[in-house]
Structure 1
Amino acid sequence: MGQLRVHLDCERCCDMSVKILYIAGWGRSGTTIVDNILNSYDGVFSTGELFYLWTRGLLEEKRKCGCGVIFRECALWRSILDVAFGDDRPCPSHMRDLQQAAIRVRHTRALTGPTLSDEAEEYRRVTNRLYHAIAEVTGARLIVDSSKIPSAAALLPRMAGVEPYLLHMIRDPRAVTHSWMRAYRKKSLVSDPEAPAASTMHWLVRNALAERLAGDFGGRYRRLRYEDFVADPRATIEGLLAFAGVEPKSGAEPKSGAEPGNGAEPGNGAEPGNGAEPKSGVEPGNGVEPAGGGASVGGPFTGDTTVRLAVNHTIAGNPRRFHSGDVELRADDRWRTEQTAGPRLTTTALALPLLHRYGYSAGFSRRRVNR
Structure 2
Amino acid sequence: MSVKVLYIAGWGRSGTTIVDNILNSHDSVFSTGELFYLWRRGLVQRRKCGCGKQVANCHLWREILDHAYGDSPPDPRELTELQRRVTRVRRTPALIGSPLSSEANEYRRIMTRLYHAIADVTGAKLIVDSSKVPSGAALLPQMGGVEPYLLHMVRDPRAVTHSWMRVTEQPDRGKPAVMDQHNPADSTMHWLVWNTFSERLARTYPNRYLRLRYEDFARAPRATIDELFAFTGVAPLEGPFLDDTTVMLQPNHTVSGNPSRFRTGEITLRADERWRKEQPLGPRLAVTAMALPLLHRYGYRVSVGA
1:362 is matched with which residue? 302
- Percent of paired sites with the same residue: 66
1:234 is matched with which residue? 222
1:148 is matched with which residue? 132
Structure 2: any 5+ residue segments left out of the alignment? 171-175
Query: Which residue of the other structure, out of 26, 31, 53, is the alignment partner of 1:41?
Result: 26
Aligned CA distance change for structure 1 residues 185 and 198 (closer, same or farther; 3 Å)? farther
Aligned AA (1:344): R
1:198 is matched with which residue? 186
Query: Which residue of the other structure, out of 38, 44, 55, is the alignment partner of 1:53?
Result: 38
**Cα deviation code 1:284-328 (max 9, x no counterpart):** xxxxxxxxxxxxxx3110000000001000000000101111100
**Cα deviation code 1:325-369 (max 9, x no counterpart):** 110000111100110011100000000000010000111479xxx
Aligned CA distance change for structure 1 residues 41 and 365 (closer, same or farther; 3 Å)? farther
Relative to the length of structure 1, the TM-score reads 0.78
Which is richer in helix? Answer: 2
- Higher-Rg structure is 1
Instruction: Supply the distance in 2 between the matched residues of 1:320 and 1:199 (Cα, whole angstroms).
Output: 20
1:291-310 matched pairs, under 5 angstroms: 298-310=238-250
Aligned CA distance change for structure 1 residues 337 and 188 (closer, same or farther; 3 Å)? farther
Instruction: Supply the distance in 2 between the matched residues of 1:137 and 1:118 (Cα, whole angstroms).
Output: 29
Deviation at 1:104, TM superposition (A): 1.1
Aligned AA (1:311): P
Deviation at 1:99, TM superposition (A): 1.1
1:84-103 matched pairs, under 5 angstroms: 84-103=68-87
Deviation at 1:183, TM superposition (A): 2.6
Instruction: Supply the distance in 1 between the matched residues of 2:236 and 2:97 (Cα, whole angstroms).
Output: 37
1:342 is matched with which residue? 282
2:210 is matched with which residue? 222
Query: Which residue of the other structure, out of 122, 134, 146, is the alignment partner of 1:138?
Result: 122
Q: Report the count of equivalent residues.
A: 300
Instruction: Supply the distance in 2 between the matched residues of 1:353 and 1:209 (Cα, whole angstroms).
Output: 14
Instruction: Supply the distance in 2 between the matched residues of 1:83 and 1:106 (Cα, whole angstroms).
Output: 32
Over aligned residue pairs, what C-alpha RMSD do you find?
Answer: 1.8
Instruction: Supply the distance in 1 between the matched residues of 2:70 and 2:177 (Cα, whole angstroms).
Output: 43
**Helix, strand or coil: the match of 1:129?**
helix
C-alpha contact (below 8 Å) 2:43/2:76 kept by paired residues: yes
**Helix, strand or coil: the match of 1:165?**
strand
Query: Which residue of the other structure, out of 16, 20, 23, is the alignment partner of 2:5?
Result: 20
1:44-123 matched pairs, under 5 angstroms: 44-61=29-46, 63-123=47-107
Deviation at 1:199, TM superposition (A): 0.1
Instruction: Supply the distance in 2 between the matched residues of 1:108 and 1:41 (Cα, whole angstroms).
Output: 32
Aligned AA (1:300): P
**Helix, strand or coil: the match of 1:183?**
coil
Instruction: Supply the distance in 2 between the matched residues of 1:157 and 1:130 (Cα, whole angstroms).
Output: 15
Aligned CA distance change for structure 1 residues 127 and 185 (closer, same or farther; 3 Å)? closer
**Helix, strand or coil: the match of 2:244?**
coil
**Cα deviation code 1:135-183 (max 9, x no counterpart):** 0000000000000000010001111101000000000000000001113
Aligned CA distance change for structure 1 residues 340 and 123 (closer, same or farther; 3 Å)? same
Instruction: Supply the distance in 2 between the matched residues of 1:212 and 1:48 (Cα, whole angstroms).
Output: 23
Relative to the length of structure 2, the TM-score reads 0.95
Deviation at 1:114, TM superposition (A): 3.3
Instruction: Supply the distance in 1 between the matched residues of 2:276 and 2:98 (Cα, whole angstroms).
Output: 45
C-alpha contact (below 8 Å) 2:36/2:136 kept by paired residues: yes
Structure 1: any 5+ residue segments left out of the alignment? 1-15, 250-297, 367-371
**Cα deviation code 1:66-88 (max 9, x no counterpart):** 01111111000000000000010
1:274 is matched with which residue? none
**Cα deviation code 1:93-120 (max 9, x no counterpart):** 1111111111110110110123001111
Deviation at 1:185, TM superposition (A): 9.7
**Helix, strand or coil: the match of 2:112?**
helix
1:174-189 matched pairs, under 5 angstroms: 174-183=158-167
Tell which has more relative contact order, 1 or 2 (C-alpha 8 A, sep 6+): 2
**Helix, strand or coil: the match of 1:336?**
helix
Instruction: Supply the distance in 2 between the matched residues of 1:181 and 1:149 (Cα, whole angstroms).
Output: 20
Query: Which residue of the other structure, out of 138, 146, 152, is the alignment partner of 1:168?
Result: 152
